[in-house]
Structure 1
Amino acid sequence: MSSPPAAQLVLGAIADDFTGATDLANNLVRSGMRTLQVIGVPEDDLALTDVDAVVVALKSRSCPVDDAIGDSLAALEWLKARGARQIFFKYCSTFDSTDDGNIGPVADALLERLRATQQEHLRATHTEQSGSDQTVMVPAFPINGRTVYQGHLFVGDRLLNDSGMQHHPLNPMQDADLVRVLARQTPHGVGLLNRATLARGAEAARGRLAELREAGVRHVICDTLDEGDLDVIAAAVVDLALVTGGSGLGQALPAEYRKKGWLAPVEHPGRLMPSHGAALVLSGSCSRATLGQVEHFLARHEGMALDPLALAQSDAPIEEALAFARARLTAADGPVLIYASAAPQAVEAAQASLGAARAGELVERALATIARTLVAEGVGRLLVAGGETSGAVVSALGVGELRIGEQIDPGVPWTQTRVAGREAPLSLALKSGNFGGVDFFTRAFTVLSEQTNQSAGQQTTQQRTQQRNQGEEGA
């Protein structure tokens, strides 16, 4: 391989799924960081011109623990080779994982690798980071209703285990006490930075973290009720080698980077090119939020459901879905929906017959095949709901990098990427299952149109200015 290109990243993030990566990248862009999202660990020759943060999107949330650790460490090495000042391990704001991991084991592996190389890192980047022997766990995203109090995670006004996440097909969450959840995933100490301490400010929070470190606590769950708590946490942890959490913390960190002089002001960090092509929605998520979005969409547009049991018999449902979409996409009368989203009872029935892993694989393969086929045939605006589904679709399309645009709803931006065989960029939105308002599937395309029309107008103005300046120079 060629030598790594010279670059000084402020933040290097490792996300355990594709929608989570986009969620974090969205908040970084909104907070003024020039952000590139890459799918998997990229090649060494990837150019990082004018980039403040890179988010490496993995598919490591629900895979075997050893695979998650290996992929995460590979991403860490790539990011550290580019001088990342801080590492961010991004997982879902609902902390979904199993008692075996993967959140705890991956965080442990990242800390241990960082600690082993800390002295070299400090010499190379001249930072003032504290030892790599402790990190924080900040899953909260208050604007999306994810809060933590006394170590318990809430989704809206419900405890995590009563929010619908107890029915998650891969990682059912049946305990809202994150200290207890994480303690089952790691042999190291787990503690709590509570709301009362945060209310006293960043200095008090730093002091409490130091006390916990002295007591041998490696992982610290952080209470978080509002945006102000995120600001306090960001100020307290900006010098840690590793932070972990949801995208809410990513929203607060850039202000602290600016205070340190690591970031310069950036104009229009989320500008996209004009969008072209038919509009398609693919949904594999079975979350309550997505089920509501599917119902809302179907009351206004056409859609077709995929049944995992039928997919297990043959590929005929895929061909039927393609025919259904082709007949309607050519009409140019709005987006078309293909979905495998279903109520918990239907999901449980499919899993009982096929097994959870097999049922999920069938749906992911079907939606990925549909995406690859229809994008090749002219779909230029694609919205995908569900983390596992998004990972399958992105892999099928061969996407390597995503330019992050403005957000549709908190945590979900439009992005653009280049796909082989398409002259124009593909506009792509990757939605975590629990995110977005009930009208998300329809409103997203209105937001994209507004964004790209504005960008086209800005580009026209810039072109006219350049032409005028060239004319004056030639006169």
Structure 2
Amino acid sequence: MQAPRPLPDGPLVAFYGDDFTGSSAAMEVPAFAGLETVLFLSTPSAARLRDFAGARAIGIAGVARSQPPAWMDRELPPAFRLLASLGAPVAHYKACSTFDSAPQVGSIGRAAEIGRSIFSGDWIPMVVADPGMGRYQSFGHLFAMADGRGHRLDRHPTMARHPVTPMDEADLGRHLARQTALPVGLVDFVAMKRGEGDAALARAREEGARIVSLDVLDEETLVEAGRLIWERGDKPVFAIGSQGIEAALVAYWRAAGLLPAEAPASRPGPVARIAAVSGSVSPATAGQIAHALDRGFAGIRLDARLVVDAPAFAREIGRAAEAALRALGEGRDPLIYSAAGPDDPGVAALREAVATAGLDPVAASERLGAGLGRALRDIVRPAGLTRAVIAGGDTSGHAAMQLGLDALTALGPLDPGSPLCRAHGADTPLDGLELALKGGQVGRPDFFLAVKQGGRAVS
């Protein structure tokens, strides 16, 4: 058996995330495997990179998931060239683990084309599944857990009804074919479990595949996916997929004895008060909001329809922030939210208001996210809070940008895909803020309370 390729010095993985919450999911995998990791919230300068010179995994959080291909054509090439300059053996375009994308917005296919033009590899590994996040891929079809049950992606209670990128196709190869002409191949879990992964990969490449999707169902297939990327990929590898890329690499490095099997996990302690904002419409977040309100959080509903009128929306953000500060003065944790699930009447009202005003839905999402960020900033600073939450994959990036922060490092685990982080900023009073970024489908019902407590008791 061939000896595993050793881990070189310096960065091992460099990734660009297509949204902020997903980027924190990719960050936590190497971080909690004991590899120093940093996630930049904007393209870092050379001086800022030097501040984190020991990092073995380096990420840049972006907002490509909510942008059209023309935006990608402008913004992704310089980001990918920066990734290439870091010299990491693996460069990764991090997409959501539910593959949120469409030809006109968040096109993963377009990102793959841009990456291929810069990295010039023969093939692009694609891993979307991650069992640790409740994502599984079988014969190229993606399944995701919700409320303890597995759903094919096109029948998933959230993704089939996503307001921007509803999924009507669980076969990721077919879905991707709507976004790119690059041929997509597959290494399925049967070949992996039979020890035929190399042969299946060679066959897919001989048949002309430029993107090769790798099934992942369990630890065995996760390790095999990592092996194929690390041992059979180009040097450097350009890969696309979820945090499953990092999970597969770490699983293989551990199985091959290149990393210790376990790394100590820190457990930040509780804080007296937190503040949270949410632009998510997922049922999972709705359940978490309800759980938090039942346990004493002060719910502050935002009238999201007002995004169509900038001055009115600014006043609404100010009202919500003032209400949050009053709640803190009463000893309660404020939670500002724009909707409680996809069936919330506010979702349809917002959609109607945006259509009537002729506002681009993407611009409306950006405005909503930025407003939530301003509200959080105007709460955290005067109240002297040390911990906060931003919920919502499409809005989290725009919200986080309002805080003046430029990097995150992982502090401790909460739920898979959403660690508690320490925020960094060279020129902001919020440097050192502890922050959790939560995607719509991420987290158990008590997520907001777990953030306040700094995690859950180890059973």
Equivalent of 2:375 in 361, 370, 379: 370
Amino acid in structure 1 at the alignment position of 2:100: D
Cα deviation for residue 65 of structure 1 reads 1.1
CA deviation profile, 1:137-164 (whole Å, cap 9, x unmatched): 2111223321111221112221112212
CA deviation profile, 1:406-464 (whole Å, cap 9, x unmatched): 2101111011123545376100000111100011111221125989xxxxxxxxxxxxx
Task: Write the distance in 2 (CA, Å) between the matches of 1:70 and 1:257.
Answer: 35
SS at 2:339 equivalent: coil
Counterpart of 1:24? Answer: 26
Cα deviation for residue 181 of structure 1 reads 0.4
Cα deviation for residue 74 of structure 1 reads 1.7
CA deviation profile, 1:327-382 (whole Å, cap 9, x unmatched): 1213444x221001233343233212214335423421320110121122122211
TM-score (norm 2): 0.86
Q: Which moved more, 1:258-267 or 1:44-53?
A: 258-267
Counterpart of 2:185? Answer: 191
SS at 2:66 equivalent: coil
Equivalent of 1:296 in 291, 303, 309: 291
Gapped runs of 5+ residues in structure 2? 1-8, 356-360
Q: Give aligned pairs, total.
A: 425
Within 5 Å, give how 1:221-300 maps onto structure 2: 221-239=213-231, 240=233, 241-257=237-253, 278-300=273-295
Equivalent of 2:401 in 388, 392, 395: 395
Identity %: 32
Counterpart of 2:209? Answer: 217
Amino acid in structure 2 at the alignment position of 1:161: D
Cα deviation for residue 390 of structure 1 reads 1.6
Pick the structure with greater CA Rg: 1
SS at 2:274 equivalent: strand
CA deviation profile, 1:155-203 (whole Å, cap 9, x unmatched): 22211122121221221112112111011111121122112111123xx
Counterpart of 2:6? Answer: none
Q: Which moved more, 1:345-354 or 1:302-311?
A: 345-354
CA distance 1:319–1:406, change in 2 (3 Å): same
Amino acid in structure 2 at the alignment position of 1:147: Y
Cα deviation for residue 60 of structure 1 reads 0.7
CA distance 1:423–1:351, change in 2 (3 Å): closer
Q: Is the 8 A contact 1:290 1:341 kept in 2?
A: no
Task: Write the distance in 2 (CA, Å) between the matches of 1:266 and 1:158.
Answer: 31
Task: Write the distance in 1 (CA, Å) between the matches of 2:188 and 2:103.
Answer: 23
Equivalent of 1:430 in 427, 437, 442: 437
Counterpart of 1:339? Answer: 337
Task: Write the distance in 2 (CA, Å) between the matches of 1:264 and 1:43.
Answer: 32
Q: Is the 8 A contact 2:132 2:416 kept in 1?
A: yes
Counterpart of 1:50? Answer: 54
Within 5 Å, give how 1:290-329 maps onto structure 2: 290-300=285-295, 301-313=297-309, 314=312, 315-329=314-328
Cα deviation for residue 213 of structure 1 reads 1.0
Q: Is the 8 A contact 1:304 1:339 kept in 2?
A: yes
CA distance 1:69–1:266, change in 2 (3 Å): farther
Q: Is the 8 A contact 2:423 2:434 kept in 1?
A: yes
Equivalent of 1:161 in 146, 154, 166: 154
Counterpart of 1:151? Answer: 140
Counterpart of 1:15? Answer: 17
Amino acid in structure 1 at the alignment position of 2:33: S
Amino acid in structure 2 at the alignment position of 1:43: S
Cα deviation for residue 66 of structure 1 reads 2.9
Task: Write the distance in 2 (CA, Å) between the matches of 1:226 and 1:249.
Answer: 14
SS at 2:46 equivalent: coil
Cα deviation for residue 296 of structure 1 reads 1.3
Cα deviation for residue 264 of structure 1 reads 8.5
Amino acid in structure 2 at the alignment position of 1:145: G
Amino acid in structure 2 at the alignment position of 1:165: M
Counterpart of 2:5? Answer: none
CA distance 1:155–1:94, change in 2 (3 Å): same
Counterpart of 1:142? Answer: 131
CA deviation profile, 1:201-244 (whole Å, cap 9, x unmatched): 3xx21221111111111112222212321111101111421222
Task: Write the distance in 1 (CA, Å) between the matches of 2:170 and 2:88.
Answer: 33
Cα deviation for residue 317 of structure 1 reads 2.1
Task: Write the distance in 1 (CA, Å) between the matches of 2:363 and 2:76.
Answer: 25
Task: Write the distance in 1 (CA, Å) between the matches of 2:68 and 2:305.
Answer: 25
Task: Write the distance in 2 (CA, Å) between the matches of 1:83 and 1:189.
Answer: 27
Equivalent of 1:36 in 35, 38, 48: 38
CA distance 1:227–1:266, change in 2 (3 Å): closer
The CA RMSD over aligned residues, in Å, is 2.5
TM-score (norm 1): 0.83
Task: Write the distance in 1 (CA, Å) between the matches of 2:257 and 2:58.
Answer: 19
Task: Write the distance in 2 (CA, Å) between the matches of 1:72 and 1:263.
Answer: 32
Task: Write the distance in 2 (CA, Å) between the matches of 1:449 and 1:399.
Answer: 27
Gapped runs of 5+ residues in structure 1? 1-6, 116-131, 452-475
Counterpart of 1:455? Answer: none
Q: Is the 8 A contact 2:404 2:428 kept in 1?
A: no
Q: Is the 8 A contact 1:276 1:424 kept in 2?
A: no
Task: Write the distance in 1 (CA, Å) between the matches of 2:260 and 2:136.
Answer: 31
Counterpart of 1:411? Answer: 417
SS at 1:379 equivalent: coil
Counterpart of 2:354? Answer: 354
CA distance 1:99–1:40, change in 2 (3 Å): same
CA distance 1:259–1:76, change in 2 (3 Å): farther
Q: Is the 8 A contact 1:304 1:337 kept in 2?
A: yes
Q: Is the 8 A contact 1:161 1:174 kept in 2?
A: yes
Amino acid in structure 2 at the alignment position of 1:135: I
CA distance 1:407–1:328, change in 2 (3 Å): same
Amino acid in structure 2 at the alignment position of 1:224: V
Equivalent of 1:87 in 91, 97, 107: 91
Q: Is the 8 A contact 2:267 2:454 kept in 1?
A: no
Cα deviation for residue 272 of structure 1 reads 8.4
CA deviation profile, 1:41-94 (whole Å, cap 9, x unmatched): 211222133211101111111212132244332222222222111112211010
Task: Write the distance in 2 (CA, Å) between the matches of 1:260 and 1:159.
Answer: 32
Q: Is the 8 A contact 1:297 1:441 kept in 2?
A: yes
Task: Write the distance in 1 (CA, Å) between the matches of 2:141 and 2:167.
Answer: 12
